[in-house]
Structure 1
């Protein structure tokens, strides 16, 4: 009996099949009009964050008391200025960089912790009880209160905000991954890998984790919106960004005293937060539908 060796031509259909899965998922996602709008908003936000020094028309923290509280569409300040004469547009643009950076950091750290606990708990029955009790303990605290407690211990800063939100994200991620692992590890190909002597680490990393990737991606996308909203909330309460940092939540807190005379100081950063959270949520919903194998393109 000769060993069968796949030629280049024989391997091609496998590659094409994988590529077809990605293309099909993208088509399903873009077919969702709300998700498509969300993607455009997210791309614009990323562009603002990357090119903030170029897009911003003024130094976001430079004060000009002579030009304070200018209304929207003023000459040289199309979104007006705040009570210190700082350009609102420039602060919004630089605020996008801060919000996305904190959100990505928080979600990434939360994924590392949640995926690790979920994999171990779902794969090892002996560890499952201990890990799930720790997760249940974290679930017993309301998310924002848990974040406030962590910041009270660590101190007020954007770094500590990212850490607090990541810890808040761990239990939800761990439960999602654990549920997927419990289902996947019963599959025949996992049993076959065990019988062939594959190590537990190899099975978890090479075979279980990739098949649990879809719910993780959906969770991460939707959690980005929550992380950005939480960052703004904590900064509004004075637990995150400190003056004069151009962060959206802090801008709302600083502008609320001028709501009647200069409403744009709170409305503009509020709209920025709303659009960003909306975008990540609808893209997350779209991904959930697009990654569903039962969905078909009409």
Structure 2
């Protein structure tokens, strides 16, 4: 009988299985209502980009000359048409694909450069001064002006926009990573590995870089918002995507001459940019809070 009682107590006192850090972060994130709303918008944009050919009835450049400048809620064109008779919903959907592709490629390239420079500057003191002065030089230019300068030298195209925004992303990422490395490399286990003769490359890749993941993830998420907004701004100025590309900034530029007669040509892509930028920003804020171990959430 006593053994049965002990067994029951042992069962009751059995510790719960520890959740992985990813699950813990996700649980915290979904408690943030704004972040959940942002995730829904981003998911919708992803679905639009992936399944674009299946959710529209027209081609993005298809012109219906007898149906130009139709207002919102017109038959067969629920977001109306532009001055060439092109369906606004179709162009909006294909524009989501351009924004995502440019954003992802630019952020990935910028992260690759920024992480590399940040790791080297933070870990090797002799390289810190050289690398950070280069980073400060890039910071001396306002971001959008730096991108415009690069495009002016390379030429106007969406590929050059990716290159320009990638270079613009490097200094911010490098500073964040460097700060994290300076903190992590002082930890006792890093010093112990050095004393045991571990190679620098092994210490940096296997032990320091994973501990810098949290700020990098937050930076990447919020950088997506900046990238999409910057891409639209450059296209609006005629330095990015060129007509007849359905990029959202180019759509706003094309519609500005019709603001009084067909305001939906500007309002529709403008709202799309606003929602997506807002979504990435609130998700970035939510991730920052979820990755903060000192942040308390209600159960």
Same-fold call, TM > 0.5?
Answer: yes
* Counterpart for residue 215 of structure 2: 215
* Counterpart for residue 293 of structure 2: 293
Q: Secondary structure at the match of 2:30?
A: helix
Task: State the alpha-carbon separation in 1 of the partners of residues 42 and 57 from structure 2.
Answer: 22
* Counterpart for residue 71 of structure 2: 71
Alignment of 1:130-141 (within 5 A): 130-141=130-141
The higher radius of gyration belongs to: 2
> Number of residue pairs matched?
283
Task: State the alpha-carbon separation in 2 of the partners of residues 254 and 221 from structure 1.
Answer: 29
Task: State the alpha-carbon separation in 1 of the partners of residues 141 and 297 from structure 2.
Answer: 41
Alignment of 1:122-271 (within 5 A): 122-271=122-271
Alignment of 1:50-61 (within 5 A): 50-61=50-61
Q: Secondary structure at the match of 1:23?
A: helix
* Counterpart for residue 10 of structure 1: none
Task: State the alpha-carbon separation in 2 of the partners of residues 49 and 163 from structure 1.
Answer: 22
Task: State the alpha-carbon separation in 1 of the partners of residues 22 and 140 from structure 2.
Answer: 38
Q: Secondary structure at the match of 2:83?
A: coil
* Cα offset, 1:27, TM superposition: 1.1
Q: Secondary structure at the match of 1:71?
A: coil
Task: State the alpha-carbon separation in 2 of the partners of residues 20 and 141 from structure 1.
Answer: 42
- Gap runs ≥5 in structure 1: 1-15
Q: Secondary structure at the match of 1:209?
A: helix
* Counterpart for residue 82 of structure 1: 82
Residue by residue over 1:241-286, the C-alpha shift from the partner in whole angstroms, topping out at 9 and shown as x without a partner, is 0010100000000001000010000000000000000000000000
Task: State the alpha-carbon separation in 1 of the partners of residues 57 and 262 from structure 2.
Answer: 20
Task: State the alpha-carbon separation in 1 of the partners of residues 268 and 72 from structure 2.
Answer: 10
Task: State the alpha-carbon separation in 2 of the partners of residues 101 and 169 from structure 1.
Answer: 16
Could you list the runs of 4 or more consecutive aligned residues of structure 1 that deviate by over 2 angstroms after TM superposition? none
1:22 matches 2:22: yes
* Cα offset, 1:296, TM superposition: 2.8
Residue by residue over 1:163-207, the C-alpha shift from the partner in whole angstroms, topping out at 9 and shown as x without a partner, is 100100100000000000000000001011111111000000000
* Cα offset, 1:24, TM superposition: 1.5
Q: Secondary structure at the match of 1:197?
A: coil
* Cα offset, 1:20, TM superposition: 3.0
- Gap runs ≥5 in structure 2: 1-16
Task: State the alpha-carbon separation in 1 of the partners of residues 129 and 57 from structure 2.
Answer: 55
